[in-house]
């Protein structure tokens, strides 16, 4: 028996809806034949795939980071604006692909408006620097009347794009990054770039690069060095992390949220250390702007790629277990809603994405689409603290961990409570009890589960709905206690409403 304690008086924080962000990079087929395919039967007048747009809206994405990723560190934004027939074809050094530059700044903003998402922009601090960042910002955000915004107007966008969130480079701690820098080098450049960008548009939100992953040898020290230089100029520091099963260890993989949880806690501690050193009243928050399940063991590395035209790259096909892990990572982000204000599932389409497409053909939902979409749709405005007692799971990577991973949200305007839980045990079902006396009279209005007897099951173009969330029978409330049974390796959304009917 697992018992989950939750009370409206114990609040983690308000939920920033940008936590349900995603990521579009010029990599593989994310852009070309992903979101943009002018010759597709379902393409609109701008070349955007309307079938993909519909799925993006259904997914519930709120913000999308662009144009990278590693791609941005050798990207000249000027190549992607203006008449398409005049744009150069170039070799992208990040992924060794020929970039046709038929989709760029103005196209992405137009796509984002149609998708109903806020654009988050990354600037190139690898091969370029302060001047180029300021010029791009001026092109995007200033009204007509000077050279760069006038160029935007001439290219068809009369009104400023008004992009509010800007990332100061990407993974600059990584030796794989074009223009890789030491912490001191990057901190100095980020400080000067942030200062200059705020001269153009003081109201920006700026994201400083944190570590590429928690396994980097400079993790922690990198964040300290960067924030000591940029603390008064930036709003967020970034985190990136990808997870996969290693050596067949599914038990540790199902508990991967432990690693994400520890990484967030460590970065918060480092940021608050710098806050104390500076005697500052300002609080730095986190942008977890790349996260997902990624089978990196199947990736040959950048130098293992042949120079080629746009073609498939790291198009992982996701299983039931992968979807359960993605659901548990979303739970972790919610559990830190007081400090994590932006998060981006990387990437949106084809490249380790929840949406897959065929060139000229169909688009469908991967298994990982479902926990993201349901969490984005049902999570309330306030995240509540949860405490769990019950069975544990022994893992090689993280030791003994709770079998139940959980969070809950509350909506003041309706009194609705939504509980998100994962049973991380591979073989044992969990009987769940949730006392709800503090909320008054609630009834179960919906319980959806993602699980399958075949945990390796996937969705494909031929069987796009092989794995979908299914209603759970038998969940109810008796004497103020919600009771449910959770199958092994399963993700759940339980919605409870005042005066509802089952």
Dist CA 135 CA 366 (whole Å) = 39
CB 293 within 8 A of CB 370: no
Q: Annotated catalytic residue: which of 132, 135, 171, 258?
A: 171
Distance between CA atoms of residues 197 and 133, nearest Å? 7
Give CA–CA dist 259/245, Å, rounded: 13
Name residue 312's beta-bridge partners: none
Which residue bears the tokens 């936590």? 19
Percent helix, percent strand, percent coil in the chain, to nearest 5 = 30, 30, 40
Q: Sort strands 97-99 and 90-92 into parallel, antiparallel or unpaired.
A: antiparallel
Coil, strand, or helix at residue 289?
strand
The active-site residue, picked from 99, 191, 290, 416, is 290
Residue 309 annotated among the catalytic residues of the structure: no
Known catalytic membership, residue 290: yes
Rounded-to-integer distance, Cα 298 and Cα 327, Å? 23
3-state SS, residue 450: strand
How is 172-185 classified by DSSP, letter by letter? TT-TTSTT---HHH
| DSSP letter assigned to residue 458 | B
User: How many angstroms separate the CA atoms of 177 and 245, rounded?
Assistant: 25
Which residues are designated catalytic? Answer: 171, 290
């Amino acid at each position: 028996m697992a018992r989950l304690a939750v009370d409206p008086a114990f609040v983690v924080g308000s939920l920033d809806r940008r936590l349900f962000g995603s990521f579009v990079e010029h990599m593989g087929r994310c852009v070309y034949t992903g979101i943009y395919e002018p010759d597709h039967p379902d393409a609109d007048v701008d070349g955007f795939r309307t079938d993909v747009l519909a799925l993006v809206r259904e997914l519930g994405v709120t913000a999308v980071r662009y144009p990278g990723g590693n791609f941005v560190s050798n990207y000249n934004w000027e190549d992607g604006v203006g008449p398409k027939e005049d744009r150069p074809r170039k070799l992208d050094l990040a992924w060794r692909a020929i970039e046709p530059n038929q989709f760029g700044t103005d196209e992405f903003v137009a796509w984002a408006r149609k998708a109903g998402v806020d654009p988050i922009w990354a600037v190139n601090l690898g091969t370029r620097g302060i001047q180029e960042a300021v010029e791009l910002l001026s092109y995007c955000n200033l009204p007509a009347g000077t050279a760069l915004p006038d160029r935007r107007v001439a290219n068809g966008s009369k009104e400023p794009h008004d992009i509010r969130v800007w990332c100061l480079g990407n993974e600059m701690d990584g030796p794989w990054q074009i223009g890789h820098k030491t912490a001191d080098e990057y901190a100095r450049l980020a400080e000067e770039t942030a200062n200059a960008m705020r001269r153009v548009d003081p109201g920006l939100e700026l994201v400083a690069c944190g570590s590429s992953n928690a396994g980097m040898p400079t993790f922690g020290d990198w964040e300290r060095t960067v924030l000591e230089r940029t603390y008064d100029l930036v709003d967020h520091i970034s985190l990136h992390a990808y997870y996969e099963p290693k050596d067949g260890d599914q038990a540790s993989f199902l508990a991967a949220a432990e690693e994400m949880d520890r990484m967030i806690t460590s970065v918060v501690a480092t940021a608050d250390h710098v806050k104390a050193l500076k005697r500052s009243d300002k609080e730095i928050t986190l942008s977890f702007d790349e996260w997902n399940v990624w089978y990196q063991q199947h990736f040959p590395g950048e130098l293992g790629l042949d120079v080629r035209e746009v073609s498939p790259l790291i198009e992982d096909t996701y299983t039931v277990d992968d979807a359960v892990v993605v659901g548990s990572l979303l739970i972790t982000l919610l559990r830190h809603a007081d400090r994590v204000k932006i998060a981006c599932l990387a990437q949106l389409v084809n490249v380790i994405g929840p949406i897959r497409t065929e060139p000229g053909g169909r688009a469908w939902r991967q298994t990982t689409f479902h926990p993201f979409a349901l969490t984005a749709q049902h999570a309330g405005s306030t995240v509540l603290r949860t405490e769990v007692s019950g069975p544990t799971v022994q893992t090689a990577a993280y030791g003994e961990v709770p079998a139940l991973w959980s969070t809950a949200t509350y909506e003041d305007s309706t009194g609705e409570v939504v509980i998100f839980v994962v049973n991380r045990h591979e073989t044992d079902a969990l009987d769940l009890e949730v006392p709800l006396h503090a909320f008054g009279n609630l009834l179960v209005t919906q319980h959806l589960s993602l699980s399958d007897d075949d945990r390796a099951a996937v969705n494909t173009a031929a069987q796009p709905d092989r794995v979908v969330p299914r209603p759970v029978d038998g969940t109810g409330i008796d004497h103020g206690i919600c009771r449910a049974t959770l199958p092994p390796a399963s993700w759940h959304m339980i919605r409870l409403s005042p005066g509802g009917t089952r």
